A and B are shown apart, each in its own frame.
Chain A
Amino acid sequence: MTRRQCIQVLLQAGIYSRFNFSNLLQKSQQTDDFPYYVDVAQKAGLTAKTVIHGHANKSFLLSTTGGGVALFDYDNDGWLDIFLVNSWGLTDFPEGQKPTNHLYRNNHDGTFTDVTAATGLLHSGWGQGVCVGDYDNDGFLDLFVTYYGKNVLYHNNGDGTFTDVTQKSGVLQAEDHWNSGAAFLDYDRDGHLDLFVSNYLGHKYGVVLYDDNPSLMGAQSPVLYGVAGLEGTRNILYRNNGDGTFTDVSKAAGLWRPDPTYGFTPCVSDYDNDGWPDIYVADDSTPSLFFKNNHDGTFREMGMLAGVAFDENGRTQGGMGVDAADYDGDGFLDIIKTNFSDETISLYHNNGKGLFTEQTISAGLAGQTSSVKWGTGFLDFNNDGRPDIFIVTGAIYPPGLGERRAGAEESGKKILYRNLGNGRFQDISARGGPGLGVARCSRGAAFGDIFRSGQIDVVINNMNDYPTLLRNQSPSTNSWLLLKLVGTRTNRAAIGSRGIVETATQRQVQEVRSGGSFCSQNDLRLHFGLGRAREVTRVTIKWLGGTEDVFEHVPTNRLVTIQENKGIISQEVF
């Protein structure tokens, strides 16, 4: 037995020990402070693999990316459905076995049905990312899928089917791109959702050979030479013309002013609280970009000055995934960014006015560095009103690409940080339930209350593997509130609008966001943990268009739907 095999055996033994211990915990000592995540994907019917057929002994960068996942209610039944982006291979697949994206409809009983074909979403190719928004304000969420190749925009027909409107809408790309993340946003606040698409490398680099020295096969440690030195790309901004079509305004909007980067995930938020959406893009090995909205249809990139382009020492990082939330309750949205292995994650604290200071070390988030970290999100797993942090990881090359990669799957753990409420976080990855202990090569992760339990669940897209569906089975006694916002003057999905929830002891701010995590889409509804509060003192909705609705004494533990200028139009108690 080699040393590495020996280590693997020991690790496996450790994992099994932890699993048993967690079971005991659930029965006897489970507290509100720790979730109990269990992977229920297979049982729930998420049975299709995300496929990447690489090469047995050659490394291509194309095999490393992709894996977006979306949580959204495509049929407006009040239950979250799951869309998983699939990938492709360097060799063709037999007819009938071609990998396709998958849409799973929520059956309301803890299971899902694969409705991909029935909804018209069968599509093969090097899928990368996904985002959701109602671009035509018809009340049904549309779907945008990015590709290594050409992106696809699906219009939700409102009858349980989708139509590919890529060409008709004007977002069909003339040339192939290596598109990555995407997000709908209403950057000009005209009530029509525009579309931002980040790009990774130039298309030709997807199949550039990254072969290791053949003479060293078997002896040399796997070395990925990485993207450094390759030609970067620029991001794309499509303006919604209001008639179901889009116009590429990237250059005019100022998106091409910065040097090319290796873009992954956009995270759109109003970072300076001026009422206009700004765009932050997590970039790999290049400065992450921060486009501040100038309120005139243009943006100014100011990532370096804002302090979010690099780490605190000015070093570029392998930025992958990103999310934004007000983790310390000061009313400004902070940023969490996942990075490559041997790098910490980045927690950028918003000082106000859109300027940030990195607080990773002082927040206690510098400990997990061994893995490549991808999808991430602020989520309140214990409903204590303090956003916690969830991160998925995965080896740079997925397993199954050939024998050479067989031993490379040494990462893939899930990382969970509990917000301690004092600006610091505690790593509770080992105490988050058995679902966190199983290593998978993960990419995208999406967060939302999938089972209508008032708690946040997680769906994860794993490379060359089946998806993970982490159901939070912890018996939390804390209160919560789920807000669904419906815009009228503002875009219908209310993307960019804010919910401010106040209890006797807390004030929380959240924003409806398209895109994020790693090239993925979280539930558009806003989930607020409320601790021991039995009612919400005040709910303030700041619609992106500038209007404001205020509601007082809102009861807890329910889904409340609020329509712009109409108020609360429905409440559902779970």
Chain B
Amino acid sequence: MGQNPTGMSSSAYDKAFALFEKGQVKETLIEIDSALAKEPQNPALHNLRGLAAARLGHSDDAAKSFDKVIELLPRAALGYNNLATLHSQLEHYAEAASLFSKALAREPNNFTALEGLGATLAVLHKYQDAAPYLAKAWSTHPEDFRAGYEWARTLHELHRPAEAQKVLRQLTPPQDASLTAQFYKLSGAVAEQSGDREGASRFYARAYELAPSAFETYLALVRTSIGAGNSAQSLPPAPASLSAEQHFALGLLFASAGDYAQAVPEFEETLRMEPTSYSTSYNLALAYKQTGKAQLAIEVIERAIARRATGELYNFLGSLEEEAGHYVDAIHHYQRAVEVEPANEQFYFDLGAEYLIHFTFEPALEVFQLGTQKFPRSARQHIGSGLAYFSLRRYREAAESFLSALEIDPSSPTTFKAWNALPPFVGLAEWETIRPRLETLAKLHPQNAQVLYCYAAALFRHSISSHSQSALTLVQSLLERAIRLKPGFAEAQLELATLYQIRGQFEKAVANFLEAIRLNPDSDQAHYRLAQTYRNLNQLDAAERELVRYVELSRNRRDKLAQTRSTITQFVLAQPPSSAVSPGPAEGAPHR
């Protein structure tokens, strides 16, 4: 924008421009002002004056000059472009965008206006708006690095990595190391976006070579390199003299990738620089835990608790003591977590779960009972309570607790599993208690297959016991509806088959057992019942075949049970943090 774009040349202008080119900006201004005294309507002189003033940082003065250009050449893009550029430099992006638009209104193919408007809109994160201008700018000047770079960056932001890569491949990075580093960094980002972590890692490595102090580039290099499965050992050294925050960021990155061994020194360094940092203590302890240094983790958390005792830290300490085999200490710390933050549902759950896992059911029950009072909408508190009752063989209360959980979250697979774990006789003994609630639940959720099944299964056992044919008919209807609502509902299919078997409708039973087995080939129960049905049909060979399969499957099931120790452990380990209240970070997740 420095050359005389107006066509109105003069010797004075030439002399001033020569000075401007040499960087003698103040002299340029003196020369221009002198010339303007003679030619006050010369737009070229005003334009050059604006440029010189802008270079000297005299923005207001520069703006006045560009305004004068606009006044003298109202149909030209020149004044608008330069004034827009000035605003852009001053980070007045909205004004800049408006002026570039006016420039384009006057000269629709003006490259400067196209590129300027596109780049400005991109700065404003209006990538969709920016895209057509940058596309047009780059199509008119595909050799222009800046236009191509901005276009590629915008495509990247628009999550169009394939197009961005195409643009980048056609660009030649300039000699400037900084710009080249930016180019490779963008190339890395685009490759990462397209899922090519290996390629991204190579681009980031090039960018980091060119700008070895760029921490952000190094972070990206680490991220993609680890993501590509490369060893952390193959990474170049981090930039020198990182801040605590940067060490922490690196630690988090390694920890998030599961490379806790690499995370440990980063967190250690962070903690050395900021010895009272809460988050660092937490994460360092977490990394220690994950690298098998439970005792170090305990010490870090104990020091952190001495500085600031939070429920989260006590809870974490509880899990560390549990892992170290110090059950009593673990209980103590889980208890402290609850005391320190009694409004945290997670801590109640963890305390109750700790008791459950160690078969100390009565204390577990007390915790979960309190938990259900404090957090009545937390389904898992009710399930925990139910499991404690179940383990204490108080089946009526267990059934009621599971029912409460089902009422809160009728679609929860965990609740469904817990309900199904109840022994068949529970429904019989406690029928009058549970029937109205199940019936109401089924009415409230007529489209919930799981609810219909639970009601049907309980009603089924009761109707067998009471010899109620009408109840059996209702059971059949509920099960058929559950299957219609949820095709592939293996449990309901099995129950329906069993219903036919008990009614002596053996042919129908066989068909339904076969369907149940198709849906869940590993159901030993289905194979066993099918065998008995074949037997009743005097198809003894088929019965024997099913029994052979049953034996295999039941053996597998027993082995699996032995591996997972107990249903309780499965339940506890499967529970995500509650969303009902505001919990701390899930234990095991890095703390940001």
At the interface, yes or no: B166 with Cβ under 8 Å from chain A?
no
Q: Which of A229, A305, A351, A362 contacts B465 (CB 8 A)?
A: A362
Q: Is the CB of B360 within 8 A of A221?
A: yes
Q: Mark A79-121, 1 if CB is under 8 A from B, else 0.
A: 0000000000000000000000000000000000000000000
- Alpha-carbon distance A305/B551, docked complex (angstroms): 12
**When the two chains form their complex, are residues A366 and B425 in contact, meaning their CB atoms are under 8 A apart?**
yes
Residues B360 and A220 in contact, CB atoms below 8 Å apart: yes
Main secondary structure of the interface of B (DSSP, over half): helix
Q: Are A369 and B425 in contact (CB under 8 A)?
A: yes
Among A229, A315, A424: residue with most chain B CB under 10 A: A315
The answer to whether A361 and B544 touch across the interface, beta carbons within 8 angstroms, is no
Say which residue of B328, B393, B423, B525 sits within 8 Å of A314 (CB atoms): B525
Q: Which among B8-16, B239-247, B340-348, B528-536 touches the partner chain?
A: B528-536
Chain A residues, Cβ within 8 Å of B550? 304, 314
Contact B529 A362 (CB under 8 A): no
Q: Which of B330-364 contact A (CB under 8 A)?
A: 358-363
Please name all residues of chain B whose beta carbon is closer than 8 Å to the beta carbon of A367 when the two chains form the complex. 425, 428-429
Is A342 in contact with chain B by the CB < 8 A criterion? yes
Interface pair A313/B528, CB less than 8 Å apart: yes
* Shortest distance between the CB of B422 and any CB in chain A (Å): 11
Interface string of B517-534 (1 = CB under 8 A from A): 000000011011101100
Of A221, A229, A355, A362, which is within 8 A of B464 by CB? A362
B531 touches A305 (CB 8 A): yes
CB-CB < 8 A to A342: which residues of B? 393, 423
- What CA separation (Å) do A295 and B543 show in the bound complex? 24
CB distance from A62 to the nearest CB of B (A): 23
| B418-477 contacts to A (CB < 8 Å) | 423-425, 428-429, 461, 464-465, 467
A221 touches B524 (CB 8 A): no
B residues with CB within 8 A of A: 327-328, 358-363, 391-393, 423-425, 428-429, 461, 464-465, 467, 502, 524-525, 527-529, 531-532, 535-536, 540, 543-544, 547, 550-551, 554, 562
Q: How far is the CA of A219 from the CA of B361 in the complex (A)?
A: 9
Chain A 205-230 against B: per-residue CB contact (8 Å), 1 yes, 0 no?
Answer: 00000000101100111010000010
- B residues less than 8 Å from A215 (CB atoms): 327-328
B360–A219 contact, CB under 8 A? yes
Is A273 among interface residues, defined by CB-CB distance under 8 A? no
CA distance A313 to B502 in the complex (A): 12
Cβ-neighbour of A366 out of B465, B532, B536, B547 (below 8 A): B465
Shortest distance between the CB of B456 and any CB in chain A (Å)? 16
Chain B residues near A310: list those with CB within 8 A: 528
**A44–B527 alpha-carbon span in the complex (Å):** 53
Bound-state Cα–Cα, A228 to B529, Å: 24
Do residues A355 and B467 form an inter-chain contact, with CB atoms below 8 A? no
Q: Which 3 A-B pairs have the closest CB atoms?
A: A314-B528, A366-B425, A313-B525
Q: Is A8 an interface residue (CB 8 A)?
A: no
Q: Which one, A229, A314, A369, A370, contacts B529 given CB within 8 A?
A: A314
Kindly list 11 other residue pairs between chains A and B, CB separation below 8 angstroms, not including A343-B423, A362-B465, A366-B461: A220-B358, A221-B362, A221-B391, A304-B528, A304-B531, A305-B535, A305-B540, A305-B547, A314-B528, A355-B536, A366-B425
Known contacts A219-B363, A367-B429; decide if A305 and B543 are in contact (CB<8 Å): yes
Collect the chain A residues with CB atoms within 8 Å of residue B502's CB: 362
| 30 pairs of residues in contact across A and B, judged by CB atoms under 8 Å | A215-B327, A215-B328, A216-B358, A219-B363, A221-B360, A221-B362, A221-B392, A223-B359, A304-B547, A304-B551, A305-B531, A305-B543, A305-B547, A307-B535, A312-B529, A313-B525, A313-B529, A314-B524, A314-B525, A314-B550, A342-B393, A344-B424, A361-B424, A361-B425, A362-B465, A362-B467, A366-B425, A369-B423, A369-B425, A369-B429
A95 to B363: give the CA distance in the assembly, Å.
Answer: 46
- Please tell me if the beta carbons of A364 and B465 are within 8 angstroms of each other in the complex: yes
Is B532's CB under 8 angstroms from A307's CB? yes
Question: What residues of B have a CB within 8 angstroms of the CB of A314 in the complex?
Answer: 524-525, 527-529, 550, 554
Interface membership of A341, Cβ < 8 A: yes
Contacts of B525 in A (CB 8 A): 313-315
Assess the A361–B535 pair: CB atoms within 8 A. Answer: no
CB neighbours (8 Å) of A369 from chain B are: 423, 425, 429
Q: Among B361, B429, B461, B528, which residue has its beta carbon within 8 angstroms of that of A221?
A: B361
| Residue picked from A213, A307, A343, A361, most chain B C-beta under 10 Å | A361
B461 and A361: CB pair below 8 A? yes
Chain B hits for A366, CB < 8 A: 424-425, 428, 461, 465
CB distance from A409 to the nearest CB of B (A): 15
Q: How far is the CA of A315 from the CA of B550 in the complex (A)?
A: 11
Q: Of all chain B residues, which has the CB nearest A353?
A: B538
- Hey, which chain B residues are within 8 Å of A370, CB to CB? 393
**Which of A322-359 touch B at CB < 8 Å?**
341-344, 351, 355, 357
A219, A223, A342, A364: which has the most chain B beta carbons within 10 Å? Answer: A219
> Given the interface contacts A221-B392, A314-B524, does A229 sit within 8 Å of B562 by beta carbon?
yes
Minimum Cβ distance to chain A for residue B521 (Å): 15
Closest to A363 in B: B465
CB contacts (< 8 Å) of A216 on chain B: these are: 327, 358-360
Separation of A351 and B532 alpha carbons in the complex (Å): 12
1/0 contact string of A429-446 vs chain B (CB within 8 Å) = 000000000000000000
Residues on the A chain within 8 Å of B528, using CB: 304, 310, 313-314
- Bound form: Cα–Cα A447–B543 in Å: 38
B373 to chain A, nearest CB (A): 18
In the bound assembly, the distance between CA atoms of A221 and B358 in angstroms comes to 10
Which A residues lie within 8 Å of B393 (CB)? Answer: 341-342, 370
B548 closest partner in A (C-beta): A304
CA of A307 to CA of B534, assembled, Å: 12
Closest to A424 in B: B467
How far, in Å, is A337 (CB) from chain B's closest CB? 15
Q: Is the CB of B362 within 8 A of A361?
A: no
- In the assembled complex, the CB of B567 is this many whole angstroms from the nearest CB of chain A, namely 14
Complex CA gap A355/B534 in Å reads 12
B327:A361 contact, CB within 8 angstroms:
no
Contacts of A312 in B (CB 8 A): 529, 532
> CA–CA, A367 to B461, complex, Å?
12
> Which residues of chain A are within 8 angstroms of B359 by Cβ–Cβ distance?
216, 220-221, 223
With CB as the reference atom, state the residue of chain B lying closest to A359.
B464
Q: Whole-angstrom distance from the CB of A497 to the nearest CB of chain B?
A: 30
Chain B residues contacting A220 (CB-CB under 8 Å) are: 358-360
- In whole angstroms, what is the CA distance A229 to B554 when docked? 14
A423: nearest chain-B partner, CB-CB: B467
Shortest distance in angstroms between A250's beta carbon and chain B's nearest beta carbon?
A: 23
**Closest chain B CB from A305 CB (angstroms):** 6
Docked CA distance A265–B499 (Å) = 33
User: In the complex, how many angstroms separate the beta carbon of B399 from the nearest chain A beta carbon?
Assistant: 13
- Closest Cβ neighbor of B429 among chain A residues: A367
**Which chain A positions have C-beta within 8 A of B465?**
361-362, 364, 366
- Tell me the smallest distance from the CB of B267 to a CB of chain A, in Å: 33
Chain A residues whose CB sits within 8 angstroms of the CB of B532 once the complex forms: 307, 312, 357
Residues of A within 8 A of B392 (CB): 221
How far apart are A86's CB and chain B's nearest CB, in angstroms? 31
CB closest residue in chain B, given A221: B361
Best-surrounded residue of B423, B535, B543 (most CB of chain A within 10 A): B535
Which of B328, B391, B425, B525 has the most CB atoms of chain A within a 10 A radius of its CB?
B425
The chain B residue sitting closest to A219, CB to CB, is: B360
Residues of B within 8 A of A213 (CB): 358
Could you tell me the distance between the alpha carbons of A341 and B529 in the complex, rounded to whole angstroms? 24
Distance A310 CA – B467 CA, assembled complex (angstroms): 23
> How far apart sit A342 and B392, CA to CA, in the bound complex (Å)?
11
Q: From B461, which residue of chain A is reached at the shortest CB distance?
A: A361
Residue of B whose beta carbon sits closest to that of A222? B359
C-alpha spacing A213/B544, complex, angstroms? 44
Measured CA separation A362–B361 after assembly (Å): 33
Q: How far is the CA of A427 from the CA of B260 in the complex (A)?
A: 63
With A305-B535, A313-B528 given, is the CB distance from A344 to B425 under 8 Å?
yes
Whether B544 contacts A305 by the Cβ 8 Å rule is yes
Interface string of A169-181 (1 = CB under 8 A from B): 0000000000000
